[in-house]
Amino acid sequence: MIAAALPEMEALTREVGQSCHLAVHSAGEMLVIAQVDSSLQMGFAVHVGARVGLLTSASGRVFLSFQKDDERERVLALQGQPARPSTQAVTAFVARIQKSGYESVPSDLIRGVTNMSYPVLDSSGRCCAALTIPFLQWDADNHASKAVTRVRLGAAAQAVSSAIGALPE
Domain chopping of the chain, boundaries: 2-163
For the cut 80, the answer to whether the pLDDT of residue 85 exceeds it is: no
Q: How far apart (Å, rounded) are the C-alpha atoms in residues 163 and 155?
A: 12
Query: pLDDT per residue over 6-18, tens digit each?
Result: 999 999 999 999 9
What lies within 8 Å, CB to CB, of 149 at 6+ separation is 16, 18, 116, 133, 135
Q: Which of 151, 111, 112, 150 is nearest to 133 (CA)?
A: 150
- Per-residue 3-state assignment (H helix, E strand, C coil) for 78-95: CCCCCCCCCHHHHHHHHH
For the cut 80, the answer to whether the pLDDT of residue 82 exceeds it is: no
Q: Please, what's the b/e burial string for 100-116 (b: 16 or more CB within 10 A of its CB; e: otherwise)?
A: eebbbeebeeeeebbbb
Q: Is 49 exposed, middle or buried (0-12, 13-18, 19+ CB in 10 A)?
A: exposed
Q: How far apart (Å, rounded) are the C-alpha atoms in residues 11 and 15?
A: 6
For the cut 90, the answer to whether the pLDDT of residue 140 exceeds it is: no
Q: What is the pLDDT of residue 79?
A: 72
- Find the mean pLDDT for residues 29-41: 91
- Find the mean pLDDT for residues 117-129: 94
Q: How far apart (Å, rounded) are the C-alpha atoms in residues 155 and 38?
A: 18
Q: Between vectors from CA 86 to CA 85 and to CA 90, what angle results, nearest 5°?
A: 75
Residue 64 belongs to what H/E stretch? Answer: helix 58-65
Query: Which CATH number does the domain 2-163 belong to among 3.20.20.330, 3.30.450.40, 3.30.56.10, 3.30.413.10?
Result: 3.30.450.40
Q: Whole-model pTM above 0.85?
A: yes
| Cα distance between the two ends of the chain | 19
